[in-house]
Structure 1
Amino acid sequence: MTSNDAPAPESPPVNGPAGRDQAPQFVLPLVLHLEKTDPPARTDALETAARAVLTILSDERSLGDGVWAQAMRDWQDARIRKVVRRARGAEWRKAAALDGITVTGGSAEVRVYPPIPLDGWPKELAKLQVSGTDLDDPEPPAAPDPQGPVLWLNPELEMSAGKTMAQAGHAAQLAWWELSETERTAWQESGFPLSVATASSDHWRDLITSGLPVVRDAGFTEIAPGPTVAAEGGSRLCPLQRARRP
């Protein structure tokens, strides 16, 4: 995702790539609770990660003069980086004790933290694994609920669960930036319902030319640069406008 220089944490970045790359670089850490004997379902982990990003974006501590607000602004002044790591047992308990927010899905727990410098990871998080995280859906996921937004994955890509969780978080953030305050409040008060699903090839081609928010990965890890996730608005929550076509 290529985003930069936000005037406030709840607003989209406004400056170009040069300013984004010259600014100090920060990262939003997310930690997935992953026990060997009871891993979460993949789709639930993706949706929970997306909701975790929305939760910290909308938290009062991230806004105005809140204790996380400067960190959120600094993060959005540079490239919008997210890194997902995993923890179990004592590692998870130590990670959960750090300042942050734990968001729970059907089977997944994801803790999100205020942004930190790229080289400033706290020791409790720095030692956690970042690569090789993969998950399965033991049963076919439910069909996306059209009343809320759907984060559609690029059907041509294969990404680890951790990478895909970060990309889903990017898409949710792009959707959030598109909304009015009234629309944000309605979505937040409903608990940020959303769905994550893989698009068909035809649907994906339509999405990336629709004017809807599309995450375009910079290609630093796992995949080549290009589009990864598209956000499509819901009929009741998170309405997103398509571009008018001739």
Structure 2
Amino acid sequence: MSSNDTPDAAPASASSADVQSVSAERDAAPQFVLPLVVHIEKTDPPARTDALETAARAVLTILSDERALGEGEWAEVVRDWQDARIRKVVRRARGAEWRKASALPGITVTGKAAEVRVFPPVPLDGWPKELAKLQVSGTDLDDPEEPHAPDPDVPVLWMSPDLDMSAGKAMAQAGHGAQLAWWDLSDADRTAWRDAGFPLSVRTATPEQWRTLTATGLPVVRDAGFTEIAPGSETVIADHPALRG
């Protein structure tokens, strides 16, 4: 699983100077991280795509939760986190570890079989002990069969075909893509997506699809390069129907 996973969250159309300015401003702010814990039992791990989609929906769920909005109990820390780099850390838990993590304030989101619990952002050095001890690496995930073609009417988070990422890294990147789409949507489109239960698909684009998508102006995740891949790598394009030109 991937730790310290952070994108440069400037718009796809921003100039290099704009990106540097945004990055410097975010780096100067107090740094927080959004913890996500995926439930992985040795004997029955979830499919990779199911875990990626569930992680993305978990990020959207906490962003739209009333506790993260307005004067809610998580609102201030969520604002502070989004004002800095939107770091996410994915860790794994099983058995008693999962039960202890599930007892902490947060939200558990389920997919077909995957379970991901998302927690309010914490300072980089302020992890709850129940989460700090969880493993970041060690278990990867696979798809037992090829995922079916995505519904064109449902948002798709397209993963780059050029990058080889661990399941944890890819889960965090999918979460970044969902968050960038959320930021770009109108209030009405956000409400419609939330009320529908945040339907979405995560798929790996073909090289031809990726070349086409990069020219659309859709939100693009550019990784900061702290783990696994080079800084500035374009990892995910968020293809929400409401954002298509």
Letter in 1 for 2:226: F
Q: Quote the offset at 1:146 in angstroms.
A: 1.1
| 8 A contact 1:3–1:20 mirrored in 2 | no
Query: Which consecutive segments of 4 or more residues in structure 1 shift more than 3 A?
Result: none
After superposition, the CA RMSD in angstroms is 1.1
Q: Quote the offset at 1:186 in angstroms.
A: 0.7
Letter in 1 for 2:122: I
Q: Quote the offset at 1:2 in angstroms.
A: 1.5
Equivalent residue, structure 2, for 1:7: none
Alignment of 1:233 with 2:236, yes or no, is no
1:71-150 aligned at under 5 Å gives the runs 71-150=77-156
Q: Quote the offset at 1:133 in angstroms.
A: 3.3
Letter in 1 for 2:87: R
**Higher alpha-carbon deviation: 59-68 or 126-135:** 126-135
CA-to-aligned-CA distance 1:178-230 (integer Å, 9 cap, x gap): 11111111111110000000101011011122110000001000111210000
- Identity among equivalent positions (%) equals 75
Structure 2: any 5+ residue segments left out of the alignment? 1-6, 11-20
Equivalent residue, structure 1, for 2:16: none
| 8 A contact 1:50–1:168 mirrored in 2 | yes
Q: Of residues 148, 162, 174 in structure 2, which corresponds to 1:168?
A: 174
Q: Highest relative contact order (Cα 8 Å, sep 6+), 1 or 2?
A: 2
Q: Distance in 2 between matches of 1:79 and 1:2?
A: 7
Alignment of 1:58 with 2:61, yes or no, is no
Equivalent residue, structure 1, for 2:210: 204
Q: Distance in 1 between matches of 2:213 and 2:123?
A: 34
| 8 A contact 2:9–2:222 mirrored in 1 | no
Paired residue total:
228
Q: Distance in 2 between matches of 1:38 and 1:17?
A: 40
Q: Distance in 1 between matches of 2:93 and 2:228?
A: 21
Give 3-state SS (helix, strand or coil) of 2:35's partner. strand
Q: Give the alignment's TM-score, normalised by structure 2.
A: 0.91
Give 3-state SS (helix, strand or coil) of 1:132's partner. coil
Equivalent residue, structure 1, for 2:18: none
Q: Distance in 1 between matches of 2:194 and 2:77?
A: 22
Q: Distance in 2 between matches of 1:133 and 1:161?
A: 8
Letter in 1 for 2:243: L
Q: Distance in 1 between matches of 2:235 and 2:22?
A: 21
Q: Distance in 2 between matches of 1:132 and 1:34?
A: 11
Q: Quote the offset at 1:134 in angstroms.
A: 1.0
Equivalent residue, structure 1, for 2:228: 222
Q: Distance in 2 between matches of 1:215 and 1:17?
A: 13
Q: Distance in 1 between matches of 2:26 and 2:97?
A: 33
Q: Distance in 1 between matches of 2:83 and 2:123?
A: 12
Letter in 2 for 1:141: P
| 8 A contact 1:3–1:78 mirrored in 2 | no
Q: Give the alignment's TM-score, normalised by structure 1.
A: 0.90
Give 3-state SS (helix, strand or coil) of 1:83's partner. strand
| 8 A contact 1:85–1:128 mirrored in 2 | yes
